[in-house]
Structures are given as C-alpha cells and as structure tokens.
Structure 1
Amino acid sequence: MFFGEFKEKNQDEIVLEEVGYTDILELLAVIYPCAYPITDKNLEVVLKLADRFIMPIIVERCKEVLKTSQKIKRPLKLWLAQKYNFPDLQIEYAKEYKNVDDVKKLKAEPEYGLLDDKTRSLIFDSITS
C-alpha cells in the first residue's frame, strides 16, 4: 500500500476506511517501538490489520500468540488458523477434536458456522482415525 505501485503511493494522506481509531492505535503500538505485546485480548484486531496491510512479521508474532495462548477458546483458534491460512495450526487444532461429543460442542459455538469444508474435513478425519 505504501511502497508498491498503488494509487495511494503519491498521496500525502490515506483514508483508512472501516478501521477504527483504537484498532489503528493497537496496531501501531505493536509496531513501534515494538515493546507493546500482542495478547489474547488484542490478537484478533492486530492480526486482521497486519494481514490487511501485509505485515508478515506482525502476522508471525500473532501466530505465536495464537499458538501459545491458553485463554483463546479452541473454536476461535481453529477459525483464526483457517482465516489467516496457518495450515499447521489448522491441522493441530482440528486434531484436538477426538470424538462426536467434541464436535457437538463445537457445533454449538458461533465459530462453527464460519468453518469451511476443508476445516470440517480435517475435524472429520481426526475423529475417524
């Protein structure tokens, strides 16, 4: 957006539509001076913006938080792994579903409706193997 061949390249000001002020502050805080932590509380906002603005280092930091967080619920972890194309985590989280009861609990979660066929297939493979 800022350095490639984009129309915004020569503009002095760029309007960031559909991005809230506090969300941008959260992203900027983790970039500079790089001391503000990415946590389970700000992970979704930072990951969404880092992906949107093509910031692979920040995406990787978010992935580490997703991988190590004990507070983020399993269905949300699975959906974020799917959404942001972390296939290793997607497979790992799908394997955490061991039986039909686990899948029934997952179906009661709002994230279930967001899971694509590939992710659902990974879960099915997990409970049938």
Structure 2
Amino acid sequence: TISVFQVVFSQRMMAFLQYKNVGDELDTIRMTVRNMRMVSLSGELSPVTRINGFPWRLRFIPSSNWSECKIALICDKSTESELWACKSAFIIKIICGAVLHIKRLEHSFNCWGNEERGMEEFVRIRSNFDAKEEPVTVEVEISTDANGEKFTRKQQLKWFLPTDIVLVIGEEKIHVNKKALAAQSDYFNALFFGDFKEKNQEEIELKDIDPEEFTLVLKMMYIDEPVNDSNAEIILKIADQFGFKILSDKTEKFLMCSSTLREHTKLRLSDQYNLRFLQEFLLPHYKSVYLVHELKKSVDYKFISDEMKVKLFEGI
C-alpha cells in the first residue's frame, strides 16, 4: 500500500526566501497526494516536520466533489508549550500536473486566539482531479523570527513519584519529590541541588508562605488544576516567588484567552509579574485618552510602575 503522504525535508539558503525580517533558518516541508480520492473529505494531516524548534504540519482538505482542495499550514507548538509566538514567512509551491502555483506569504502564529492552528485556507487548488487523477505536490519553505526551543515546555508531575523531601509551611507538612519539583522551579532546583545546606535536610521550612496557596500550585503541577479568575493572581505570585515558569506561562495564556477580569487588572498583573506577551496584547487597547483616564481612576493604577505609565502615555 502506498502512503497518501510522503514528507521530505530539505535545507535551503536564507537568501532564497528574500525576507529580511525573519529568522536565519529555512527548511522545507513537502506533501505529495498520490490520489485525491484516497483522501477523506474530513481532511488529512501530514506527519510533523520540525523547523527551527517548531512542529509544522500540512493539512489537505478536498471539496465534496474532489474538484478543489484547501491546504493549511499548521504550527502545532501548543502541543509542547503553553506560551509561544512566532512570525513566519513562506514560499508555497504547488505542482499539479504541468501547472506550478507559487505564492509568498507572511503570517504570525501564536498560542492565543485562532492563530495557533494555522492558516486554514491559506491557499486553494482548483482542477478537474476526477478527469486527470494526477498527484498533487505541495512544498512550503519556512523561515521564522524565533527559535521554538526557547519557549518553556509543558510538564506534568505524577502523584505516584516517590517522595524524598518534606516542605514545612506553617503547621503543614507537604511531601514532594525533589527532582520533579526542581524540574519545574529554578528556586527548588538551586535549593535541592545547589550549594546550600538545605539540600541534605529531610525537612525544609518555607517561611511567609500560605500553605493553601502553595498546595494550589502543587495541584496545578500534579493534576493540572485549571487556572481561573479567582486563583490567577495567587498562581502568578507563587510562580514568581519560586520560579515556576511553566505555571506563569499557563496563567499568562489564560489571561489573554479566557479570563473575564477587567483589562486594568490584567495590565497591572502583566506589569507586576513582567508578563511580556500579555503586555503586548493589552497595550494597543490603551491608545485612547478615555481608556487611560478610566485606568487612572481604577484601584489598579496606583500599583502600576512608572515604566508602564510611560508606555501607556506614549501610545496615546
């Protein structure tokens, strides 16, 4: 049986793309459809091609009578990271019989909104496939402005990991696994495996911490407890204090995509905890004098830094 898809990878010179505002790596993903009628009407996905730290896929969707198809380029980074974004440039080549279609595009992919699933109708092919029954080859050359490996990867701890250290928080004793916690936290990585006296202790006391708040964070790491409007600020506080970057990313994404908190509160949190993506997401909303005036009347304004205030007034 011949596979519907054949995916091959090839390196290209950056100069070929002729985009100066994207990254320095160029790769190609190619998909060949041997027979249109072998493809389900619900569409088919190519295997993943890793390009500059991002997982890419092509999606092929025929019309109901196989006279036309849509092809989508998908950046599937959300399967690996909570928070990410990249600007990409492409050259799309479509070969159908003796016909060659070439298209150049730029597009921004990110983890918020609808962009993470790609450009679902970024190019179409029209041809009488029923008569020709010719293979269709799609080749997309991709360059990105960022390396996907820099974004923090998702991890989830397991309850069944053996515990080897006790954290004492107030009157509570919380049993955890050193390596598992260190993998999520810069603070605990240094505490357990750095040059500190605590690394050889069986119990470590954490002072000035609310045990309920810390337990909430552990639940998020172990059983994927959801972020909501009530716990978002608590999570950001603990994540900032102990270097839980993955949880900070997850909460930042929630504030951009799902939260119903006021914009002023989100802006304060983005400033207070240095949430760069959230800041870039919110600042365009404050280009009107009215919104800035409303912000100045809010309780959040007095907690906003002078640096953020300068950014706000520059945008008006």
TM-score normalised by structure 2 residue count: 0.38
Please give the alpha-carbon distance, in whole angstroms, between the structure 2 residues aligned to 1:44 and 1:2.
27
Q: Considering only CA atoms, is the larger Rg found in Structure 1 or Structure 2? A: 2
Which runs of 5 or more residues in structure 1 are unaligned? none
Match of 1:3 in 2: 193
Aligned residue number for residue 222 of structure 2: 32
Which has more strand, going by share of residues?
2
**Any idea what the Cα deviations from partners look like across 1:56-114, whole Å, max 9, x if unmatched?**
11111111112113411111111111122122321331221132221221111111011
How many residues are matched?
Answer: 126
CA distance in 1 between partners of 2:265 and 2:195 (Å): 35
CA gap of 1:65–1:3, structure 2 versus 1, over 3 A, is farther
What's 2:250 paired with? 61
Mark the runs of 5 or more structure 2 residues left unpaired by the alignment.
Answer: 1-190
Moved more, 108-117 or 91-100: 91-100
Moved over 3 A (4+): none
- Choose the corresponding residue for 1:12, options 197, 202, 207: 202
Name the Cα RMSD after superposition. 1.6
Residue pair 2:229, 2:260 contacting (<8 A) in 1 also: yes
Q: CA deviation at 1:4?
A: 2.6
Which of 89, 92, 99 is equivalent to 2:278? Answer: 89
1:50 aligned residue = 239
Does structure 1 retain, via aligned residues, the 8 Å contact 2:217–2:235? Answer: yes
Distance 1:30 1:72, change over 3 A: same
* Cα distance in 1 for residues equivalent to 2:290 and 2:276: 24
Q: Aligned residues: percent identity?
A: 34
Q: Closer, same or farther in 2 for the Cα pair 1:97/1:26, shift >3 Å?
A: same
Q: Which moved more, 1:52-61 or 1:89-98?
A: 89-98
Give the TM-score taking structure 1 as reference length. Answer: 0.86
Shift of 1:27: 0.7
Q: Which has the higher helix share?
A: 1
Q: Which has the higher contact order (CA 8 A, sep 6+)?
A: 1
